[in-house]
């Protein structure tokens, strides 16, 4: 039953799984973790702030089954359809909602719906619970991008959306026609340098993230295959390209000419 509220997992809409499912609510609960704390300074007065850590976020979908209580078997069938839909997220899925257009969140199924007494109040609201772990934030559905330049050096800016820190991504395509051994790129205040990489002609360095937000540094060959070069990151390099909303400066240099593109997906508190 299509109402004003709609929710989907990997593009599969919940209200299309059974004609009598009515979505009643889509709630993002307060993120678990801490916003920050403080530790006493040695000597004198005052304290030192310690940055917080966001651990997870829960998304709760409330729904009802618009079937009279006397038709218990049909009501059970509808709840089973809800849980079959929710099972899409057993190994992680992208959840989108009509209440948050242009945003998505990576979730795992935490608690399927439970009917209880199938002959109970037909207006009863049931829930399905999901949790986001790797990136416990709603994110922009579409990435923002900027072409930084083509050559052995270049600089530009990247617009960062959202209202929370996020991680930028970089693609460096070798357009020199020869193999190159080293390249580095800086986004904001974070620099990543790669050495001894043997990047062939028309191959690309991809510094991006998996669905759970973990950084990947790989070479993409001309046929679309990948090989990891995470171990080629120098010890002085940053762990990731953390940026905050606004404009971030991007610069690069490499042994030979590259075409460089920066991308980012804004995150929201």
Encode 243-262 in three state secondary structure: ECCEEEEEEEEEEEEEEEEE
Average pLDDT over residues 165-180: 96
Position 139 confidence tier, pLDDT thresholds 50, 70, 90: very high
CATH class of the 7-140 domain in this structure: mainly beta
- Of residues 66 and 225, the one with the higher pLDDT is 225
> What is each CA distance from 214 to 114, 168, 240, in whole angstroms?
33, 12, 9
Which stretches within 64-167 are classed as H helix?
A: 72-86
Alpha carbon distance 119, 71 (integer Å): 7
What is residue 33's predicted lDDT score, i.e. its pLDDT? 60
Q: What residues pair up with 26 in beta bridges, in sequence order?
A: 61
Contact predicate 180/174, CB 8 Å: yes
Position 109 confidence tier, pLDDT thresholds 50, 70, 90: very high
| pLDDT tens digits along 53-87 | 578 999 999 999 888 777 888 888 999 999 999 99
Contact predicate 3/15, CB 8 Å: yes
Contact predicate 7/25, CB 8 Å: no
Range(s) of the chain covered by CATH 2.40.30.200: 7-140
Alpha carbon distance 83, 261 (integer Å): 41
Position 189 confidence tier, pLDDT thresholds 50, 70, 90: very high
Q: In the 8-state DSSP scheme, what is residue 77?
A: H
| pLDDT tens digits along 2-59 | 778 999 999 999 999 999 999 999 998 877 665 544 445 555 555 554 445 578 999 9
Position 179 confidence tier, pLDDT thresholds 50, 70, 90: very high
Element holding 8 (H helix, E strand):
strand 7-9
Alpha carbon distance 90, 113 (integer Å): 14
Q: What are phi and psi of 7, to 5 degrees?
A: -145, 140
Percent of all residues in the chain with a pLDDT value above 90, rounded to a whole number: 77
Q: In the 8-state DSSP scheme, what is residue 75?
A: H
Rounded to two decimals, what is the model's pTM? Answer: 0.85
- Closest by alpha carbon to 241, among 210, 266, 208, 267? 208
Alpha carbon distance 246, 242 (integer Å): 12
As a residue count, the chain comes to 269
Q: Which of 29-38, 146-155, 184-193, 207-216 has the lowest mean pLDDT?
A: 29-38
Q: What residues pair up with 247 in beta bridges, in sequence order?
A: 159
Q: Which two tokens stand for residue 158?
A: 């990247």
Contact predicate 14/61, CB 8 Å: yes
Q: Which two tokens stand for residue 267?
A: 């995150």
Strands 144-160 and 215-220 come out as unpaired
Range(s) of the chain covered by CATH 2.60.120.860: 144-268
| Region at 243 (left for phi over 0; alpha for psi -120 to 50; beta for the rest) | beta
- Closest by alpha carbon to 136, among 72, 54, 256? 54
Instruction: Assign a CATH topology to domain 144-268.
Output: Jelly Rolls (2.60.120)
């Amino acid at each position: 039953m299509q109402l004003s509220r709609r929710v989907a997992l990997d593009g599969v809409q919940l209200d299309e799984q059974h004609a009598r499912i009515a979505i009643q609510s889509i709630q993002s609960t307060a993120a678990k973790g801490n916003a920050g704390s403080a530790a006493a300074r040695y000597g004198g007065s005052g304290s030192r702030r310690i940055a917080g850590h966001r651990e997870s976020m829960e998304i709760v979908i409330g729904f009802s089954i618009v079937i009279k209580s006397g038709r218990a078997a049909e009501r059970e069938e509808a709840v089973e359809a809800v849980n079959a839909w929710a099972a899409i997220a057993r190994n992680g899925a992208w959840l989108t909602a009509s209440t948050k257009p242009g945003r998505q969140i990576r979730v795992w199924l935490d608690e399927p719906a439970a009917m209880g007494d199938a002959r109970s109040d037909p207006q009863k609201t049931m829930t399905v619970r999901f949790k986001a772990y790797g990136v416990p934030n709603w994110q922009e559905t579409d990435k923002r991008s900027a072409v930084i330049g083509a050559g052995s050096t270049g600089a530009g800016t990247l617009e960062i959306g959202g209202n929370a820190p996020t991680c930028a991504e970089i693609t460096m395509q070798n357009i020199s026609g020869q193999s190159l051994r080293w390249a580095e790129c800086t986004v904001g205040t974070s620099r990543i340098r790669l050495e001894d990489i043997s990047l062939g002609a028309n191959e690309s360095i991809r510094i991006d993230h998996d669905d759970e937000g973990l950084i990947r540094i790989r070479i993409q060959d001309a046929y679309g295959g990948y090989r990891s070069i995470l171990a080629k990151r120098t010890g002085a390099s940053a762990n990731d390209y953390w940026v905050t909303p606004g404009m971030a400066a991007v610069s690069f240099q490499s042994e030979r000419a590259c075409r460089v593109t920066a991308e980012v997906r804004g995150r929201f508190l």
